[in-house]
Structure 1
Amino acid sequence: MASSQVVRIRVAQHAGVCYGVERALKLTIDAASAARQPVCTLGPLIHNPRVVAELSAAGVGTAGSVDEAEAGTLVIRAHGVVPQAIESAKQHGLDVIDATCPYVKKVHHAAARLAADGYQVIVVGESGHPEVEGILGHAGDGAVVVSGIDDLNDIVLGKRVGVVVQTTQTDERLGQVVASLVARVGEVRVINTICKATHERQESAERLASSVDAMVVIGGKNSGNTRRLAQICAAQCPSTYHVEDADELDPIWFQDVRNIGLTAGASTPPAHIHQVIDRLVACNPDSSVEWNRD
């Protein structure tokens, strides 16, 4: 960015950390502050390497499994786990703090209800993702994961199918899968479990990306919801850049750019957003920063 150029930096209306992540962080930090025993999370608390590193510096460890957890307090990650993991932790004598996002809990209950009612459960989401694995643990025998309509070709479908969806998926992806199922099976029951916060972030990011010259998406590279934000933005603004922190910003990206849009994934704390804004402003002191509230 040239120093003489006035640059308008606009932040999406809905951006950054969501309620579920904020809650999980508070539960974990409070536990670490009060603990007289080791505290660790079962897997990364959230998909943000910077936050995980910050928690580690505060004394919170990460266990890959219940067996790896030291005696003390075990925090269940925001993405949730299979029910057997919590039971196993209790049997190991660990104090369990369940930081599963309440909206993810709703997916667990929805999947279990569909299975109890005799539906074959289909989870629309990323195979292998921790949230999806946790959902499958509540969805009964025969439950399967599909990331899109092509995956349905490899599945033997029952006559009655129930659908839930990973909280960070898009309405478009869910709609495509449901439309394909309706044409193939006798009965489809759909429980739309996409989180409102996810929908709001995707919608406001798409709207902003369509009106700027360059778009910056902040958040973990391992975060599914942040990657989807970047994909949505790139469809509207080819000059879209996904970064985890301000050090990744390259001034070359913003040469001759007058309008920069900025959004952040649901696992990105406010401090990380402000650091990126500060770096962009430092590159051009004449920049104006607008927080969209309409």
Structure 2
Amino acid sequence: MEIILAKSAGYCFGVNQAVEMVEEALLKNEEAIYTLGPLIHNRQVTDELDRRGAHIISDVEGIKNGIIAVRSHGVGEDIMSAIKDGGNRLIDATCPYVKKIHKRVNEYHKKGYQIFIIGDADHPEVIGINGWCNYEGIILGNKNSVPRTAKYDKICVVAQTTMNLGVFHEISQEILRIYPEAVILNTICNATKTRQEETAALAAKADCMVVIGGLHSSNTVKLAEISRAHCKKTLHIETAAELDLNDIKTCDIIGITAGASTPHWIIKEVINKMTKSFEEMLKDSEMEASYEESFRKLGRGSVVAGTVLSASRDEVYLNINYKSDALLTRDEFGEDVEDLSKEVSIGDEIEVMVVNLNDGNGNVVVSKRKMAQKKAAEELYVAFEEKQILEGVVIKSVKGGLIVDLGLGQAFMPASQYHMRYIKDLDSLVGKNVRGEIIEFDKRKNRIIFSQRIVLEREFKEKKAMEAEQKESFIQSVEVGQQLTGPIKSITNFGIFVKIGPIDGFIHVSDLSWKRINHPSDLYKLGDEITAVITEINKEEYKIKMSIKDLTDEPWIEFAKNYKTGMEVDVTITRIAPFGAFARIIDEVEGLIHISELAHEKVDKVESVLKPGDQITVKIIGIDDEKRKISLSLKSMLQEPVKEVEANETVYEDKAENTIGELFGDLFDQE
């Protein structure tokens, strides 16, 4: 029989941190401590903590001036405030990964984004995340739960840290299909992903998989589901007592994994039960060694837990279950400590690193400071191995780059790794927040190289890839004749650009209106929401041409049906030009009254006869259907004035009633 234990089995970083924080509080405080809900999804651990004084409560109401621990799942912003408002001391054991989700959700919520949370609606982590957007988030358990009818201007998507990665991607793709501009944040914990991948690989080669952890623990249940998908004989147990050896006695390879809330001592009990039953003790195996190594020997660099025996200003003596006591000096305790007796009490347990097995007086010399450095270095190395994104602050500039404080330690960031573009003044970056990855970790030289550029470049590529995918999806979904609505993104002399999904639609100035306009800004301004119809699509170049005027019939057609040359029409003067006046006959149809058609006499300036807004009656004297031009005349509506007669000019009035004789009678008489 071969027993294989998954490397990532057992406590994750967040759970381990929560347990350590509460246990430390139990050692230091005589008053009762409360955990808001079970600290972790493991009944054995929570029962033991309750026995020691950490009692579970369902809400903070009625708890005053106490100590309340918030579990690794986290809680809403309102509950954090309620704890403090009650005068209670807060132990915030929220997992750092979950805290980051809270921060991002709160930031995007304040910017007006609708929050989508992918996860289990009843899970405390999801409820806690929702509490950082005023409980207005929409919980999505599968792709069919994505809202399809509601309209959201801005969407931010996050996920429960223990969510199955495949389900997350499936729901995310559905969201992007309906809401192409949604911001997708993959907040699944890397440790969860690693644990699930290791479980799948181990289950594929095992005859039997044993999954250890709470039956109601979300991440453990998922491990059991993954195991069953690859190994038919999968046993989900909480403790060694639940293991039936008959289920495994015929198996050659047994795989073991455990949820993030499963303590190592329970895993060890399960392994011991298997090995003792089959008389195959694994004391010399690597797996057993991983549990017993710290107890078999003690040497430089060993990590031990010691109990305080005595404390003075400069020294603390610890019982480390060794033949000699351990000496912890003020210098090795930590920075800025003036009096050790005020920092520790007799009975306190301190984790330290062995520096020297004999200081000359028989004492083992230990260091809490180096222990903290070792832990920080280990965490940074894990971050390096897992390519985790870390946040830090630039604390100073040096030759060739910057020194960045990552919280756990300092790292060097070459100038070329700060940004994708060259930054000349490095001093101006001091105090700036940065986020990036460790790209080089040399334990021997204690050298850590940090890069923000690698993250920026990857995010830029991901953004471009997503934009390209969104453009492709969008361009394939639209067709000529389809009407779309969007805001005006830019205005030029030759037209306007409209934001329609991930693509800008273009409307030429000639397609804005049936009437002539001088500039698009005469009709629209930036940000205006407009509706237009697609007239052309270039799918290769992702270009769309649109028209607003095509949404209505051409006004000229109406004019041609109802108006003819020679008709008298009422018009309104719209604008004046040196050569005449333009007049509106019907909406978006104008005619020209040439300056020569304003009056019978010569007109020097059009303004002397007409002004914009004047309403007059004119006659249509010409219609050019091909050029869409109309000629109008005002003088045709005016009576032609009588010409003035010169003073010496004789005018004869022809009266039909006069005869020739009456006119020339005297002339004939003279003859």
The TM-score, its normalising length taken from structure 2, stands at 0.41
Q: State how far apart, in whole Å, the 1-side matches of 2:281 and 2:26 are.
A: 40
Matched, 1:266 2:266: no
Q: State how far apart, in whole Å, the 1-side matches of 2:215 and 2:82 are.
A: 31
Matched, 1:67 2:61: yes
Q: Structure 1 residues 243, 290: CA separation in 2 closer, same or farther (over 3 Å shift)?
A: farther
Q: State how far apart, in whole Å, the 1-side matches of 2:281 and 2:144 are.
A: 46
Aligned residue among 202, 217, 224 for 2:218? 224
What's the offset of the Cα at 1:16?
Answer: 0.8
Q: Structure 1 residues 258, 189: CA separation in 2 closer, same or farther (over 3 Å shift)?
A: same
Contact 2:63 2:86 in 1 (8 A): no
What's the offset of the Cα at 1:68?
Answer: 4.8
Q: State how far apart, in whole Å, the 2-side matches of 1:238 and 1:264 are.
A: 18
Q: Structure 1 residues 277, 246: CA separation in 2 closer, same or farther (over 3 Å shift)?
A: same
Match of 2:462 in 1: none
Query: Higher helix share goes to which structure?
Result: 1
Q: State how far apart, in whole Å, the 2-side matches of 1:237 and 1:156 are.
A: 42
Q: State how far apart, in whole Å, the 2-side matches of 1:126 and 1:290 are.
A: 38
Contact 1:136 1:143 in 2 (8 A): yes
Q: Structure 1 residues 68, 275: CA separation in 2 closer, same or farther (over 3 Å shift)?
A: farther
Q: State how far apart, in whole Å, the 2-side matches of 1:141 and 1:81 are.
A: 11
Contact 1:167 1:195 in 2 (8 A): yes
Q: Structure 1 residues 240, 265: CA separation in 2 closer, same or farther (over 3 Å shift)?
A: same
Name the aligned partner's letter for residue 161 of structure 1. Answer: I
What's the offset of the Cα at 1:188?
Answer: 1.5
Match of 1:184 in 2: 178
What's the offset of the Cα at 1:135?
Answer: 0.2
Match of 2:110 in 1: 116
Contact 2:114 2:137 in 1 (8 A): yes
Matched, 1:16 2:10: yes
Structure (1 or 2) with the larger CA radius of gyration: 2
Match of 2:241 in 1: 247
Deviations 1:91-116 (A, max 9, x none): 21111111111111011112112223
Name the aligned partner's letter for residue 238 of structure 2. Answer: E
Matched, 1:33 2:27: yes
- SS of equivalent to 1:97: strand
Moved more, 100-109 or 60-69: 60-69
Q: State how far apart, in whole Å, the 1-side matches of 2:14 and 2:135 are.
A: 28
What's the offset of the Cα at 1:14?
Answer: 1.3
- SS of equivalent to 2:251: coil
Q: State how far apart, in whole Å, the 2-side matches of 1:89 and 1:284 are.
A: 52
Q: Structure 1 residues 142, 82: CA separation in 2 closer, same or farther (over 3 Å shift)?
A: closer
Deviations 1:5-50 (A, max 9, x none): xx10000121110111111111100111111211111111111111
Name the aligned partner's letter for residue 253 of structure 2. Answer: N
- SS of equivalent to 1:66: coil
Uncovered stretches (5+) of structure 2, i.e. residues with no partner: 291-671
What's the offset of the Cα at 1:287?
Answer: 6.3
Q: State how far apart, in whole Å, the 1-side matches of 2:81 and 2:167 are.
A: 34
Equivalent positions of 1:4-153 (< 5 A) are 7-69=1-63, 71-140=65-134, 142-152=136-146
Q: State how far apart, in whole Å, the 2-side matches of 1:242 and 1:98 are.
A: 31
The TM-score, its normalising length taken from structure 1, stands at 0.92
Match of 1:3 in 2: none
Contact 2:77 2:132 in 1 (8 A): yes
Q: State how far apart, in whole Å, the 2-side matches of 1:82 and 1:155 are.
A: 28
Q: State how far apart, in whole Å, the 1-side matches of 2:108 and 2:5 are.
A: 40
Q: State how far apart, in whole Å, the 2-side matches of 1:254 and 1:155 are.
A: 52
- SS of equivalent to 2:146: helix
Deviations 1:123-158 (A, max 9, x none): 011112110001001134641111111222587352
Contact 2:64 2:86 in 1 (8 A): no
Moved more, 280-289 or 49-58: 280-289
Q: State how far apart, in whole Å, the 2-side matches of 1:223 and 1:59 are.
A: 23
Contact 2:199 2:227 in 1 (8 A): yes
Deviations 1:183-217 (A, max 9, x none): 11131211111111111111111110000000001
Q: Structure 1 residues 34, 141: CA separation in 2 closer, same or farther (over 3 Å shift)?
A: closer
What's the offset of the Cα at 1:161?
Answer: 1.9
What's the offset of the Cα at 1:291?
Answer: 4.0
Q: State how far apart, in whole Å, the 2-side matches of 1:14 and 1:50 are.
A: 20
Match of 2:400 in 1: none
Query: Higher strand share goes to which structure?
Result: 2
What's the offset of the Cα at 1:171?
Answer: 1.1
Match of 1:205 in 2: 199
Name the aligned partner's letter for residue 152 of structure 2. Answer: G
> RMSD across aligned C-alpha pairs, in angstroms?
1.9
Name the aligned partner's letter for residue 9 of structure 2. Answer: A
Contact 1:110 1:191 in 2 (8 A): no
Matched, 1:168 2:172: no
Match of 1:238 in 2: 232
Q: State how far apart, in whole Å, the 2-side matches of 1:153 and 1:237 are.
A: 36
What's the offset of the Cα at 1:117?
Answer: 2.9
Q: State how far apart, in whole Å, the 1-side matches of 2:148 and 2:52 are.
A: 46
Name the aligned partner's letter for residue 26 of structure 1. Answer: E
Match of 1:257 in 2: 251
Matched, 1:281 2:275: yes
Name the aligned partner's letter for residue 20 of structure 2. Answer: K
Contact 1:9 1:290 in 2 (8 A): no
Match of 1:4 in 2: none
Q: State how far apart, in whole Å, the 1-side matches of 2:149 and 2:54 are.
A: 41
Contact 2:130 2:136 in 1 (8 A): no
Aligned residue among 182, 187, 194 for 1:193? 187
Contact 1:11 1:290 in 2 (8 A): no
What's the offset of the Cα at 1:271?
Answer: 0.6
Name the aligned partner's letter for residue 21 of structure 1. Answer: V
Contact 1:16 1:264 in 2 (8 A): yes
- SS of equivalent to 2:109: helix
Uncovered stretches (5+) of structure 1, i.e. residues with no partner: 1-6
Consecutive aligned runs of 4 or more in structure 1 exceeding 3 Å deviation:
68-71, 153-157, 287-293
- SS of equivalent to 1:137: helix
